[in-house]
Amino acid sequence: MPQAVLKMVDICKSYHEIRVLSGINLELYPGQICALLGSNGAGKSTLTKIMTGEVRMTSGKICMDGREVEINSPYAAKKLGIISCPQEVTIFGELSVTENLFLGSELRRKGVLDWHAMEQETQAILDKLGIDVEPRRKASRLSMAEKYLLQFARTLIRDYKVIVLDELTDSLTMSEVARLYSLLRELKARGVAVVYITHRIEEARKISDRITVMKDGEIMDSIAPQNAEREELAHKMLGEDIKEHYPKLSVAKGNVVLQARGLRNKFVSDISFSLRSGEVLGIAGLVGSGRTNLLKAIVGLDKLDEGNVSVMSGGTGADGIRANIGFIPENRDTQGLFMDMSVAQNITIKRLKGISKGRLIMPRDEEEKSWDYIERLGIKPRNAHQKVRYLSGGNKQKTLVARNVFSRCNIYIFDEPTKGVDIAGKVEIYNIINELIRKKAGIVLVSSDFSELAGMCDRVLVIRNGKLVGELKQSELSHQRLFDLCKE
């Protein structure tokens, strides 16, 4: 066997009295894809942040090519040949696609920036990824999925030894994922070691050479994918069996609670639909189809040129929408959560009257009521007063779900609600969806996971190029049928 390109020995990490990692030993080899599997809070991201210099370990050592090294910053990691594509988007909106791609790795000719060469290489990489944008376009005009792909593209512009990919495919659909898998095979053939963080067991089995399972800051097992059974992996991740992944509840549908008529702007064209109480209405589409822009138009974040949205039980327009719709945006950090407020404050902020007496917020009520949702959704803060920015990605997402449920709206617009959430957390969110429709709420659900749409929706609208091109009833729903309709 070749020498390990990177070896982590007895890695431990603590935050004050809280131990996050305990005695981690991990070896990465050239041309190997190591899937790092674990539930939210298992320590996956912390371990890889130590590897890439974003977090300092409490104890242990790291070796590169048999030599002990110190990785005290992302710059130091990059010099050693280690780069990461994090779960959170780190794209600068006011810079161009080319500037974002080559930031910190600029090409120069005779000491001067070689823009021509950088734009040529940018175009070649965009073509590989299937992104149809100009290299000079501002990144702020990209969709969220395109930003994720651009972030991944940064790993392709240099010959790195180790690449860390954190929950890369959560916002992508089948065609984009297929391209990424092809590029991963190319990286593997070049001898690159890839750490692929995921919560999806089937994805780990499909693309990896080795699956390493983490739970509660420890490595539970490291196993070849051909020897890995789904239920066994789930048990190692969670300590329990997950028997039902899509526990869809059938309830009687009531009256129309939301009506969209002739919605049109620069992103969507003449879209009309209705949502009934007790219904989960899915929206499917590929990257750039307009699905997220449709949701933004419904809640008033994108201006409509024509058409209107009516909320039947609370009026029409912005005031009615604000009062009656709970919204989970695609980008939770910049559009959904208050990062420097506590978990409890983030959960209760949309319905302060639920924790107040008169004009006074009651801290004890805030803590008790938020903790109920923390336990129900399996959120893992140190306490209810911990700032949201210090939660893992999946726990941030569950906090946002908790806020919307606590708000007691009668309409919910969920854009990728299970993004970055592990199997157990997904089931909890699905159970929350069941609880909401049982209470006669109406839910609009956008997801890149066609199996999720098929498993949890009563019907699904399909959008392509900003237009509504199809509708499938529950009896017609399947992963393949949705994909076929979404393709051009």
List of E strands, 378-447? 411-415, 442-446
Q: What is the pLDDT of residues 373-427, one digit of tens each?
A: 898 888 888 888 899 988 887 788 889 888 988 888 889 998 888 877 777 778 8
pLDDT digits (tens, 9 = 90+) for 66-123: 999 999 999 999 999 999 988 778 889 899 999 999 988 889 998 899 999 999 999 9
Give the global pTM. 0.60
Q: Which residue has the higher pLDDT, 28 or 293?
A: 28
Select from 275, 287, 295, 294 the least CA-distant residue to 414: 295
Q: How many CB atoms lie within 10 A of CB 93?
A: 12
CA gap 229, 150 in Å, rounded: 34
Distance CA 47, CA 39 (A): 14
Q: Answer yes or no: CATH 3.40.50.720 is held by domain 256-486.
A: no
Q: Do domains 6-91+142-238 and 256-486 have the same CATH topology?
A: yes
Q: If 0-12 CB within 10 Å is exposed, 13-18 middle and 19+ buried, where does residue 6 land?
A: buried
Mean pLDDT on 317-335: 68
Average pLDDT over residues 365-370: 88
Q: Tell me, what's the pLDDT at 239?
A: 65
Task: Please state, for a pLDDT cut of 90, what percent of the chain lies above it.
Answer: 32
Closest CA to 57 of 47, 68, 66: 47
Q: What is the pLDDT of residues 5-53, one digit of tens each?
A: 999 999 999 876 668 899 999 999 999 999 998 876 678 888 999 999 9
More confident residue, 16 or 465: 465
Helix/strand/coil (H/E/C) assignment for every residue in 279-343: CEEEEECCCCCCHHHHHHHHHCCCCCCEEEEEECCCEECHHHHHHHEEEECCCHHHHCCCCCCEH
Residues 6+ apart with CB under 8 A from 206: 181, 225
pLDDT > 70? residue 242? no
CA 404 to chain centre: 18
Sign of CA dihedral 420, 147, 209, 44: negative
Q: How far is CA 29 from the centre of its chain?
A: 27
**In this structure, CATH architecture of domain 6-91+142-238:** 3-Layer(aba) Sandwich (3.40)
Task: Tell me which of 169 and 258 has the higher pLDDT.
Answer: 258
Which residue ranges make up each domain of the chain? 6-91+142-238, 256-486
Please state whether 403 falls in left (phi above 0), alpha (psi between -120 and 50) or beta.
Answer: alpha
